Structure 1
Amino acid sequence: MTNNNEFPTPTLISVNDVELEVFEAGQKNEGRPIVLCHGWPEHAYSWRHQVAPLVEAGYHVIIPNQRGYGASSCPNEVTKYDIEHLTGDLVALLDHYQYKDAIFIGHDWGASVVWSMALLHPERVSKIINLCLPYQIRGEKPWIDFMEEFFGDDYYFVHFNKQPGVADTILDDNTAQFLKNLYRKNTPAQASGAGMEMINLAEATESLGEPVMSEKDLAVYIAGFNKTGFTPSINWYRNLNRNWDLLGEVSPIIHQPTLMVYGEKDSIPPLPNIKDFVPNIDVKSLDTGHWIQEERPEELNQMMLEWLEK
C-alpha cells in the first residue's frame, strides 16, 4: 500500500530475458490490474501522483521501469529495444502476475508502447489511456526516413539514428543540467536555433520557465540516468524503422475502449483522424504542457477515474 507521499518499494522481476524494476501497490486487488508505462527520459516515479488514487479505487497498480531505465536491465544490442521486446516485457509481466489482460496507461514513449501493445497483443489489453502521444499512423515510408525528409537532420529522432553516440555522450556529461532544463513548464516560445534540441537543452546553463517538480523529485530521475546513462533509452529511438517493419504485419485498427488526453500547451499536435484507427476512443485535453501527469495530477486522476468507472 502507498500514499501520496510514498512511492512503492521496487522489486526486480525476471521477464522476457531481462530483469525489470517494478513498483506495485494495491496487491490485494488482484482482479483489477493497471500497468503504467513511462516515457523518455522518464522513470516509473513519474507516476507517483497516480498511485494512491488508483489504489483507493481498487486497482492493482503495476509500474515498471522499462528496459534501459533505472535498475532494470540495459541490454547492449540496439535491437533488444525494438517494439517486439518492449511489448514482450509487458506480456511477460502479465504472465508473472497470472493476469489474462490489464488496463494500460502510457505517457510519451510509454504511450507508443501501449498503442503497439494493443496492435501486437490485443488479447492482453482491456482498456487504454494514453497521454500526449496520439496513435502513430504507419505511412508508406519508415518513420525515421519520413522525419528526416519532413524535419531535417537535426530533428532529435533523426539525429539519434544518424549520429549514434554523439547525443548520448553530451547528455551523459550534463545529466543533471539536461533534466533540469527539460522538466519545465510555461516556457517562452523559442525560435528554432541551430543544432539538435536535446543537445541544446543539455548545454544550456540557464533554465527557462518554471520547474515541473521539486529538486528532491528531480533527483530520482538524475540518479536513474547516472546509473544507466542515456544510450539504453535512446536505443528505443534507434528501432523506429525496425518497429515500422514489425507493425506492418498486423491490423492497424485498435478496438479497445480508449481515452486519449492531450496537453493543450504541448508541442505534440492531436491526430485529427484518430477515430479512423481507434474507433472506440474518447478524446480530452488539459491546460498543461507535455509532463501532464506531473503538471496537472489532480485533474488527470479525476478524468481517468471517471472514464474508467463509466
Structure 2
Amino acid sequence: MLDTLNFSKATLLPVNGVDLEVFEAGRKNGGRPIVLCHGWPEHAYSWRHQVPPLVAAGYHVIVPNQRGYGNSSRPDEVMAYDIEHLTGDLVALLDHYGYQDATFVGHDWGAAVVWGLALLHPSRVDKLINLSLPYQERGEAPWIEFLEQILGSDYYFVHFNRQPGVADAILDKNAAHFLRNLYRKNVPLRAPEPGMAMINLAKAETALGEPVMSDHELAVYISAFEKSGFTGGINWYRNLDRNWHLLGDVDPIVRQPTLMIYGDQDVIPKFEKLADFVPNVDIVSLDCGHWIQEEKPEETNQTVLNWLARQSAT
C-alpha cells in the first residue's frame, strides 16, 4: 500500500544489531536526507501525507519503522528499547546511507527520540522538527516516579511500568478495536474515567469524536499491530526512568535550528520554558489534536516546507 504513495518497497536494513524496516523515496535527491520518526502506536505509514511534498521539495525521505514496530526487529529484552539503542538505530541508519547528518522529524515518541538524538549525538542532527511532544525537562526525580506521584498508578505511563504485560495482553487481544477508538479527532472534553485510559479505549464500545483516517488507512495499522503486537512499542515507556539516568551527564541544551509544532487540542501540554532548552526554536500551533500530521496534513506540510525553505535561505 505504501508503494502507491511514493514509497519504494520496504527494505530490511541491518543496523545497530537489529533489522529496521525502512521505506524511502526521493533517492535521486541524495545529499538532502530527512528522516521521519513515528510515535506510539504508529507506523511509518503515519507520514504518508508528508512524503510526496518533501520529495518534490528535493529531499531524500527516509522513513523507518523503528525497533518494535512493523516488520522491524522486536528484541525481547526491555532495556533494548532505551534511548541509547533508539538513537543508535538512527545514527546507524545515517551511516548506512553515508550521511554525516540529516534533518530529523518526530511525532509523539518519535519526537522524544529526536530530542534524545540531538542531545546524545548532536553532530548527526542538522535540523529538527518535532510534533506534539515538546522537549522534556529532566527534573530532579526519574520520570515514572514523578508521574506516579502527580498522576497516580493508573496513568498509562506508570501502569505500563508497574504492571508489565497487563496492558500488552489486552491491547493485543483488541488491536482493531483499540486503534479504531484511539485514532479520533474533535473528541469532546469530558472528565477522566477511572482506570487506565488505554485499556479503557481497548474495551470501549463507542468511539468518541470523528475518525482521523479512513477504514482503508486504518487497516494498515491494524494489520501491522496484529502481526507485531504492542509490547515492543510499550517497552519504550518501560525505559523512561533508565533514560532519565542515561541523560544525567548530557548537556541539556539543543542548539540546532528547531521547529516545534503543537496541536491546540492536544492533551500534551505546551512547554513554557522550551526556548530555555532549545534557544533556536520556532513554534507553530495548529488547530487540531494529537495526530497532527494526519489530522492537518496540508497545514503540516506547508508549515514544514516553509520553515525548511527559510532555514535554507539563511
TM-score normalised per structure 1: 0.98
Q: 1:109-135, CA deviations, whole angstroms, 9 ceiling, x for partnerless residues?
A: 000000000000000000000001000
Name the SS for the 1:19 alignment partner: strand
- C-alpha distance in 1 between matches for 2:250 and 2:185: 38
Q: Does 1:127 align with 2:117?
A: no
- C-alpha distance in 2 between matches for 1:190 and 1:199: 17
Q: Does 1:30 align with 2:42?
A: no
Preserved CA contact (<8 Å) 2:212 2:295: yes
How far is the alpha carbon of 1:3 from its aligned partner?
8.7
**What is residue 198 of structure 1 aligned with on the other side?**
198
Structure 2, unmatched stretches of 5+, are: none
- C-alpha distance in 2 between matches for 1:98 and 1:8: 19
**What is residue 18 of structure 1 aligned with on the other side?**
18
**What is residue 284 of structure 2 aligned with on the other side?**
284
How far is the alpha carbon of 1:229 from its aligned partner?
0.7
**What is residue 293 of structure 1 aligned with on the other side?**
293
How far is the alpha carbon of 1:213 from its aligned partner?
0.2
Q: Does 1:250 align with 2:250?
A: yes
- C-alpha distance in 2 between matches for 1:247 and 1:111: 16
**What is residue 231 of structure 2 aligned with on the other side?**
231
Name the SS for the 2:50 alignment partner: helix
Q: 1:41-88, CA deviations, whole angstroms, 9 ceiling, x for partnerless residues?
A: 000000000000000000000000000000000000000000000000
**What is residue 263 of structure 1 aligned with on the other side?**
263
Name the SS for the 2:46 alignment partner: helix
Q: Which residues of 2 match residues 53-202 of structure 1 at below 5 A?
A: 53-202=53-202
2:167 maps to a residue whose letter is A
- C-alpha distance in 2 between matches for 1:275 and 1:118: 15
**What is residue 222 of structure 2 aligned with on the other side?**
222
2:100 maps to a residue whose letter is K
Preserved CA contact (<8 Å) 2:5 2:52: no
1:186 maps to a residue whose letter is N
1:83 maps to a residue whose letter is I
TM-score normalised per structure 2: 0.97
- C-alpha distance in 1 between matches for 2:279 and 2:6: 38
How far is the alpha carbon of 1:189 from its aligned partner?
1.1
How far is the alpha carbon of 1:5 from its aligned partner?
4.0
Name the SS for the 2:28 alignment partner: coil
1:191 maps to a residue whose letter is A
- C-alpha distance in 2 between matches for 1:177 and 1:9: 28
How far is the alpha carbon of 1:6 from its aligned partner?
4.6
CA RMSD of aligned residues (A): 1.0
- C-alpha distance in 2 between matches for 1:4 and 1:129: 26
2:19 maps to a residue whose letter is E
Preserved CA contact (<8 Å) 2:20 2:72: yes
1:303 maps to a residue whose letter is T
1:199 maps to a residue whose letter is I
Name the SS for the 1:235 alignment partner: helix
Name the SS for the 2:23 alignment partner: strand
**What is residue 273 of structure 1 aligned with on the other side?**
273
How far is the alpha carbon of 1:7 from its aligned partner?
3.9
How far is the alpha carbon of 1:193 from its aligned partner?
1.0
**What is residue 40 of structure 1 aligned with on the other side?**
40
Q: 1:209-247, CA deviations, whole angstroms, 9 ceiling, x for partnerless residues?
A: 100001111011111111111111100000000000001
Preserved CA contact (<8 Å) 2:3 2:9: no
Preserved CA contact (<8 Å) 2:6 2:51: no
Q: 1:246-276, CA deviations, whole angstroms, 9 ceiling, x for partnerless residues?
A: 0112100000000000000101111001010
